[in-house]
Chains A and B, each alone.
Chain A
Amino acid sequence: EPEVTQTPSHQVTQMGQEVILRCVPISNHLYFYWYRQILGQKVEFLVSFYNNEISEKSEIFDDQFSVERPDGSNFTLKIRSTKLEDSAMYFCASFRGAQETQYFGPGTRLLVL
């Protein structure tokens, strides 16, 4: 069965550093998402991406965040200058179309020191 993959599985970084989280969505899917989940809290929507552009973003997704689909298969989330409060599990998801299911990746656990 096709699956969403994410790398790295864990990332430790110093506050103020840039990080790039990578995802490979399912190949025939059209919509791509990033979510985050702070330990013990709920899954929070960050951004959705369709047709090579952001279609929706939440208040969390400020100027420090950006997304890119550089080569037609990878989907990346960049955090320009990480803060302590960015420590969380980051999930990528992909989705074929309306009223279908989202498939989530296994997540990247980001720890900002």
Chain B
Amino acid sequence: SQKIEQNSEALNIQEGKTATLTCNYTNYSPAYLQWYRQDPGRGPVFLLLIRENEKEKRKERLKVTFDTTLKQSLFHITASQPADSATYLCALDLGNYGQNFVFGPGTRLSVLP
């Protein structure tokens, strides 16, 4: 069956450390993968997109990798800050050019001062 998993429901790290979040999927062949941030009671906010032919993408303190062989994406936040505390979602485009996205369950990150 098709599944998207994110490494853990919750992750606590110390301020200044690097947070690494994992997204694994089975039985999908996404054209690309996206990462979103969601704060409580708010809609998801887009962070980064990585295509199937890209291995790595960076934006400021964020880095995403995408391994289509392992069917895995890693999302890193370096020099984490308490303001980075939120739920992070990965989402796959199911290859229909934006007609159907599937979201993972999310990882709730808490950055402790």
Contact = CB atoms under 8 A, between A and B. Distances in A.
Given A42-B104, A98-B98, A91 B31 contact: no
B97 A33 contact: no
Interface of B: 31-32, 34, 38, 41-46, 49, 51, 89, 91, 93, 96-106
Contacts of B102: 45
A104 B38 CA distance: 10
B45 A31 contact: no
B34 A95 contact: no
Nearest to A6: B43
A106 B98 CA distance: 20
Nearest to B93: A99
A97 B104 contact: no
Given A43-B89, A91-B44, A99-B97, 18 more contacts: A31-B98, A31-B99, A33-B101, A42-B103, A43-B91, A45-B100, A45-B101, A48-B98, A48-B100, A56-B100, A95-B98, A98-B98, A99-B93, A100-B49, A100-B98, A102-B34, A102-B46, A106-B42
